Structures are given as C-alpha cells and as structure tokens.
Amino acid sequence: MGAVQQGTVPMSLSDYQPWTVADFFSWQQDQEERYELVGGFPKLQPFRRMGHNLIVTNVLTSLVDLLRKTPFRPFSANIGVETFPGQIRRPDAGVDCGAFDPDGYLAAEPVVVFEVLSPSTRDFDRLRKVEEYKGVSSMRHIVVVEPEGPQVLVWSREEQGEWSVEIITGLEASLPLPALAIDLPMAELYDRLDVSD
C-alpha cells in the first residue's frame, strides 16, 4: 500500500504514495470503522445519529419493496462508488444496475445515490459530493435528504446529459425517480420521525 513498507521510515511526505483502490479495499477489510478513499488516502466516516440512521433504513426498505423483481439492486454505505479513478465515496444508500459480484466492494453501475445530511458534513455533501456523483457516467439521480424536515433535493440527468435540480417538500409529496420507474413517498422516507410540513 503506497510507498511505505513495514520497517522503513519515510524521509518526507513526498515518500507517501496514494493508495490504489485494490490497496484500499484490501486494508479496509480488516478495519472496524468504515472509510472512504479521498485523494488517494483513507478518510474515516463520521458516526451518525439515530434520526439519520432511521431515514437511511426507511430509504433502503422502500427501495427493496419497490424494486423487487427488477434489474435494480439497492445498496447501503458498505458499498462504495468510484466517483473518479481512485476516489471512493460511500453514499448512505444507492441503487446499482450493473453486473452483480457477490464478492465486490463497488457498485458496478450506480444509477441513484442518497445522502442524508448531517451537521458536520451538510455543506460538503450538498456541494462537493454532489459534483463528484455527477461525474459518474451511469448516474441518473442524486438525492440529498434534509433530516430535520420533509424536504429533499433531487438532481436528475436529462436526456441531453444536463443536470436539473428539484426541491420536494411535504409528507404528502413523492420523490420521482424516473430512471427506476418509481416514485418514493416522502412519508415513507420520514416514517417514525417527528417532522413537520
């Protein structure tokens, strides 16, 4: 992994080499925490609150129900998305339509990703991560979920390749995901959470 070998001491920061994706996943297998690969080096993911976790669980439960018997497979943050060569992000949830590898660690062809905002990463998730996800050729929808109230931002890739953004609010609304041919009810995303319209 990189240029640092066991038993050697690097002379300077330039002696550290960015990790390959293979290096990263080989190392990640033995870690108790979850990491992303950012700029060639592992970055620890922050711990999340119960409200955040409940929304992620609601998203995955709804996706599993709606996508059963389709070619689309929901995935959790255990699976990575390579946003560009050597950069691995772990969205809170997503949907893959590529070839299934039971021993793999990466979504083959991610078409939708979900990021639930957290206080420590909200601006980064809404700006930098969204731009990275837009660069994934198979990506069709990027959904950013506000945990404090029934509101989501959804970016969708148009047929010409341009991205448009829509704000969806209210528990009576639905989140349209035409690439999957489904609508995700907002009430299901926020099920068992005390949020107001």
Q: 6 pLDDT exceeds 50?
A: no
Indicate the domain borders of the chain.
13-44, 50-189
Q: At 14, is the pLDDT very low, low, confident or very high (cuts 50, 70, 90)?
A: low
For residue range 44-72, list pLDDT tens digits in order: 988 778 889 999 999 999 999 999 999 99
Distance CA 86, CA 90 (A): 13
For residue range 150-191, list pLDDT tens digits in order: 999 999 999 899 999 999 999 999 999 999 999 999 999 999
pLDDT for position 5 = 44
Read off the pTM: 0.88
pLDDT for position 122 = 59
* Burial track 149-178 (b if 16+ CB lie within 10 A, e otherwise): ebbbbbbbbeeeeebeeeebeebebebbbe
At CA 46, angle to CA 43 and CA 47, rounded to 5? 145
> Which tokens belong to 138?
């198979």
Architecture of domain 50-189: Alpha-Beta Complex (3.90)
For residue range 130-149, list pLDDT tens digits in order: 999 999 999 999 999 999 88
Give the DSSP H or E segment for 21. helix 21-28
Per DSSP, helices labelled H in 44-151 are 50-67, 122-124, 130-134
Distance CA 37, CA 19 (A): 8
For residue range 22-45, list pLDDT tens digits in order: 999 999 999 999 999 999 999 998
Distance CA 34, CA 30 (A): 10
DSSP conformation class of 100:
-
